[in-house]
Amino acid sequence: MIYLDYNATTPVAKEIAEAMQPYLFEYFGNPSSSHWYGQQTKKAVEQARERMAKLLNCKSDEIVFTSGGSESNNYALKGYAFQNKDKGRHIITTKIEHPAIIEVCKYLEQEGFELSYLPVDETGRLRLKDVEEAIRPDTILISIMYANNEVGTLQPLKEISALANKHNIAVHSDCAQAVGKVPVDVKELGVDLLTVAGHKFYGPKGIGALYVREGIELQKLIHGADHEMNRRAGTENILEVVGLGKAAELAMIDPESRMKRERNLIRLLREGLEPLGDFRINGNTKFSLPNTLSISFKNLRAVDILANMPNIAASAGAACHSDAVKISATLDAMNVPFEYAMGTLRLSVGKYTSEEEIGSAIEEISAAVSLLRK
């Protein structure tokens, strides 16, 4: 099998698994306990918090550990909205957000909030003028993903934050796809809230973090004891917190070389598929994740292509139900023509992808597409 689905999830890195192992058997104490066992796990939690803070360039007490990206997004949006509803009930987001944002926004609409879902251009990038025109006197929050999980397009988050700051509006960004792939500096980006998901950069599943800028108040999502600086109740998941901290540490090692390598792999993949013709590349060529290729083959169905390349793990940009084809919200918002959108593959590389695998993938994808065209 050739794994080209790193945007869906990443394997746990060996170094991370090794760092976690002692906390499965030897160091099992409750970090809220005052005895030796509790002290050891408390130290481990705080070390992980410091590593996460260093990766994002923030203070360690601005990091709250959660169960993953979905919880972080829920906590950020619901927590800020309900805490600040007396200031306004209008929230701005985009049409291409992950369901962990869109579904929260739909819930908030049921609770009396008003949402503006902004369009994107044909490359999947937001226009600043659309953000500015959407701002109202009662706008309290803007939530914009930094990197799109399907096509890899990066948003002008720094400029959006600067615009929001002029109007005293808080900014949240779902950075689950960005952290560990491109530099994510909360001070440079100017955001107030930022979501991290551990399994997107070689950490374990079921662990994430939320950056909460000092001074930002959120209504609690999970009530109970005063864990996580009284922000998120529940005994800390020591094993996975340690894994997330190690993932953050590894992400800081020579990121430029990592991005250069992944860009090269994607270039080889794209060039290797060019002889097939009759396809289009989706996304922004200048502002994009280095590891992602969204490619659409005209008049073919993605599900059929995937079925004819059993040795490759990849994702489809369109889902098929009986005789119906449902295009993803991202491709729809980008106005990708239906005859192309239905045949969209998302191919994403990572730490363990080799050039040899890329060569084999080119052969198998080419064979599948050629067969279906016949």
Is 320 tagged catalytic? yes
Token pair of 121 as six digits: 């251009």
Q: What is the DSSP string of 162-185?
A: HHHHHTT-EEEEE-TTTBTTB---
Round to whole Å and give the CA distance between 126 and 214: 28
Catalytic residue selected from 58, 105, 175, 320: 320
**Closest-CA residue to 114 (of 141, 132, 95):** 141
d(CA 249, CA 305): 38
Provide the token pair at 97: 């957000």
Contact criterion met (CB below 8 Å) for 181 and 31: no
> Cα–Cα distance between 231 and 211 in angstroms, integer?
12
Among candidates 360, 351, 354, which has minimal Cα distance to 11? 351
* 82 CB-near residues (< 8 Å, 6+ apart): 111, 219
Helix (H) / strand (E) containing 340: helix 338-341
Residue in the structure block whose two tokens are 């410091």 = 50
* Listed residue (153, 121, 154, 158) closest to 142, CA to CA: 158
**Distances 38 to 35, 64, 220, 238 between C-alpha atoms, Å:** 5, 19, 25, 11
Active centre residues (catalytic): 320
